[in-house]
């Protein structure tokens, strides 16, 4: 069963991708020239902060899993699809988290910022870059949705159980370190 939530104007508050919960979030996003025309990407391992509006939408799903929800329940989502549609612009910062970090890399898709613009921040590790973190600052005034499957959700009422699961998921997604050494070995 697929669940689609409108998180417009509350992306940063709703999606906990910052690692505060100790859960490492991964981002799978294609960063290409025309990304602003249709921004969509996958997130792996995130928690959804529950407010009254989201709780009421989830309660309407007519699934016993979502009965008795409150703001203290931790909703862990293993995989979700986030869709912004056409955006005004975006800034992206990427960096290394290895023992020898690489310099930061910045990319901007030009935009003019107005007072009424919404700026959303999403962060995590890149699924495509071993131990590379990234922060996306997205400027958009259009609707934003998150879609996920019911079987990709886990609910926790106790932090200890959530913390144990977090450790398991962090190990599952552990990206191997790049191999050290020479690219080419020349023998005499």
The mean pLDDT of 21-30, rounded to a whole number, is 88
Residue 147 clears pLDDT 90, i.e. is over it: yes
Q: Tell me if the pTM is above 0.85.
A: no
pLDDT of residue 180: 41
Domain spans, the chain = 2-172
Residue 59 near residue 69, CB atoms below 8 Å: yes
Q: Is 99 exposed, middle or buried (0-12, 13-18, 19+ CB in 10 A)?
A: exposed
pLDDT of residue 170: 87
Pairwise CA distance, residues 99 & 121, whole Å: 26
Strand partners, 123: 135
Pairwise CA distance, residues 166 & 149, whole Å: 19
pLDDT of residue 120: 94
pLDDT digits over 94-113, tens only?
887 654 455 677 778 888 88
Task: Tell me the chain's radius of gyration from C-alpha atoms.
Answer: 18
Distances, alpha carbon 16 to alpha carbons 32, 46, 49, in Å? 25, 6, 7
Mean pLDDT of the chain: 84
Pairwise CA distance, residues 122 & 17, whole Å: 6
Q: CB count, 10 Å around CB of 174? A: 11
The mean pLDDT of 51-60, rounded to a whole number, is 88
């Amino acid at each position: 069963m697929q669940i689609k939530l409108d998180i417009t104007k509350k992306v940063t508050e709703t999606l906990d991708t910052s690692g505060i919960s100790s859960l490492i979030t991964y981002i799978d996003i294609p960063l290409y020239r025309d990304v602003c025309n249709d921004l969509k990407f996958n997130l792996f391992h995130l928690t959804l902060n529950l407010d009254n509006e989201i709780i009421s939408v989830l309660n309407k799903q007519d699934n016993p899993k979502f009965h008795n929800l409150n703001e203290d329940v931790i909703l862990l989502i293993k995989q979700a699809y986030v869709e912004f549609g056409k955006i005004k612009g975006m800034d992206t910062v990427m960096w290394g988290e290895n023992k020898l970090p690489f310099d930061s890399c910045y990319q901007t898709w030009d935009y003019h910022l107005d007072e009424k613009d919404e700026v959303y921040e999403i962060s995590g590790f890149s699924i495509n870059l071993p131990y590379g973190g990234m922060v996306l600052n997205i400027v958009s005034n259009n609707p934003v949705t998150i879609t996920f499957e019911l079987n990709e959700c886990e609910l926790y009422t106790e932090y200890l159980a959530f913390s144990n699961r977090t450790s398991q998921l962090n190990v599952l997604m552990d990206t191997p370190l790049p191999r050290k050494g020479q690219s080419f070995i020349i023998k005499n």
